[in-house]
Amino acid sequence: MSDLRIAMLGTGAQGASIGADLQLAGLDVTFIEQWPDHVEAMRKNGITVNLPTRTINAKVKALHLCEVAELREKFDVVFIVTKAYDTKWSCQLIEPYVKSDGLVVGLQNGMSIDAIASVVGPHRTIGAVIEIASNMFVPGVTNRQNDKDTSWFAVGGYDETTKGRAESIANILKHTGTVEVTSDIRSSKWMKLVVNAAELVPSAILNLPLAAAARAPGMLEFMRQAGYEAIHAALASGSRIVPIFGMSGVDPSKPEKVVDDLFDEVLKTFSMESTLTTTLQDWRKGRRGETDDVNGYVVEWLEKVGKSSPINRRVVEIAHKIESGQLDPDPSNIKLLLDAVK
């Protein structure tokens, strides 16, 4: 495995910490990043990862996006760790540098698996689910709130052409967390999207850490209802209710209870009092979030089957106002959200 050439395309909070673990495990990893200051900081001081009880530092090979065109050797494995909305162009950028039998793995929110396959081909596509809380505000430094014991991944082949190849990706990712191989990665990704629909954008709209947002009067129920709509969208898409996060005893006949249990597990195991969702981090940096790839995806799927999604639609509407500058993230926005609850 040490002779595999691996690329992390997107080395923000998540990609950098995962890549650091792989580098320290002796793997050949190249960091490819679009934030110039971050690249220069990594070249000078390596990547520093602050974990709950320890700090690690790894010396890494870091490339600016513009330097990809200078590559001569191709990669065996590429992990895409960009925002979901950046998936297609990221894959178009790296596709010429992936071996004909190489694999591209999307460690992202949303259902980016299809965008990846549309560019690199199903035969080179591995789907993945990731559950790690982290943040990055300083170049060269990432703060990861889950060490390896509470970091979780699921991986699976896109279709029959990659059947059996997910195990090789699991063997790589085991250096950074617990990994499960699934035969139905699409359903697993939908289950993660259900959780994301409940937590990412709703808590960001209030400009609060996830735990604090969930304690605000009426918000836990609102977030759960966003998840309820999402799990019915998953079923409408043809996906199944499957266990994720290492949970067991999932009862497909009780979709709402599945949502409640998943959300409780996120609050208990995968987040801290200070955890900011990725959407709120994006907004505080002046970037747009992944609203359309998560809550918007739920709205689209339910529309396809003639069903409404008033909770997720309200989340999308308010998020768009925030991103257009018409509204600021603020706890007072809770009324705008709760007004959608009948």
pLDDT digits (tens, 9 = 90+) for 12-48: 999 999 999 999 999 999 999 999 999 999 999 999 9
Q: Domains in the chain, please, with CATH? A: 5-183 (3.40.50.720), 187-338 (1.10.1040.10)
At 1 the pLDDT is 59
* pLDDT at site 220: 96
Residue 249 has what pLDDT? 81
Query: Cα 115 to chain center, whole Å?
Result: 15
Confidence (pLDDT) at 2? 66
- Measured CA to CA, the distance from residue 311 to residue 248 in angstroms comes to 28
DSSP annotation of 111 reads S
67-122 confidence digits (pLDDT tens): 999 999 999 999 999 999 999 999 999 999 999 999 999 999 999 999 999 999 99
* Per-residue pLDDT reduced to its tens digit, 288-326: 999 999 999 999 999 999 999 999 999 999 999 999 999
Does the structure show a pLDDT above 80 at 342? no
Output 340 or 146, whichever has higher pLDDT: 146
Residues in the chain: 342
CA angle centred on 319, ends 241 and 234, rounded to 5°: 15
Each residue of 214-272: pLDDT tens digit?
999 999 999 999 999 999 999 999 999 999 999 988 899 999 999 999 999 999 999 99
- Give the per-residue pLDDT at 340: 86
Q: What is the dihedral of CA 297, 303, 307, 308, to 10 degrees?
A: 70
Dig out the tokens for 113 from the structure. Answer: 């698996």
How many C-beta neighbours within 10 Å does residue 204 have? 28
For 117-185, strand residue ranges (E) read 125-131, 134-138, 141-144, 152-157, 178-181
Beta strand extents in 81-233 (DSSP E only): 98-106, 125-131, 134-138, 141-144, 152-157, 178-181
- Reported as a single tens digit per residue, the pLDDT across 140-198 is 999 999 999 999 999 999 999 998 999 999 999 999 999 999 999 999 999 999 999 99
Other C-beta atoms closer than 10 Å to the C-beta of 93 total: 18
